[in-house]
A and B are shown apart, each in its own frame.
Chain A
Amino acid sequence: MTLESVIFSVLAASAVGSALLVVTRRNPVMSALYLIVNFFCLAGLYLTLHAQFIAIIQILVYAGAIMVLFVFVIMLLNLGDERKLSDGVSWKKIVAAGFCAALLMEFVYILIYSEPSPAVMSASMATEIGTVEYIGSQLFTKFLFPFEITSLILTAAIVGAIVLAKRKLD
Chain B
Amino acid sequence: MPDIQPYLILSATLFVIGAAGVVARRNAIIVFMSIELMLNSVNLSLVAFSAQLGDVTGQILVFFVMTVAAAEAAIGLAIVIALFRRKQTLNLDEINILKW
- Residues on the A chain within 8 Å of B56, using CB: 129-130, 134-135, 138
List A residues 19-66 near B (Cβ within 8 Å).
19-20, 22-23, 25, 28, 31-32, 35, 38-39, 42, 45-46, 48-51, 53-54, 57-58, 61-62, 65-66
Q: Which of A51, A53, A74, A85 contacts B26 (CB 8 A)?
A: A85
B21 touches A157 (CB 8 A): no
Interface of A is mostly: helix
A157 touches B71 (CB 8 A): yes
Chain A count of residues within 8 A CB distance of the other chain: 84
- Residues on the B chain within 8 Å of A50, using CB: 51
Interface of B is mostly: helix
Complex CA–CA separation, A151 to B16 (angstroms): 31
Tier of interface size on chain B:
35 or more
Residues of A bordering B, CB below 8 Å: 4, 8, 12, 15-16, 19-20, 22-23, 25, 28, 31-32, 35, 38-39, 42, 45-46, 48-51, 53-54, 57-58, 61-62, 65-66, 69-70, 73-74, 76-77, 79, 82, 84-85, 87, 92-93, 96-97, 99-100, 103-104, 107-108, 111-112, 116-117, 119-123, 125-126, 129-130, 134-135, 138-139, 143, 146, 150, 153-154, 156-158, 160-165, 167
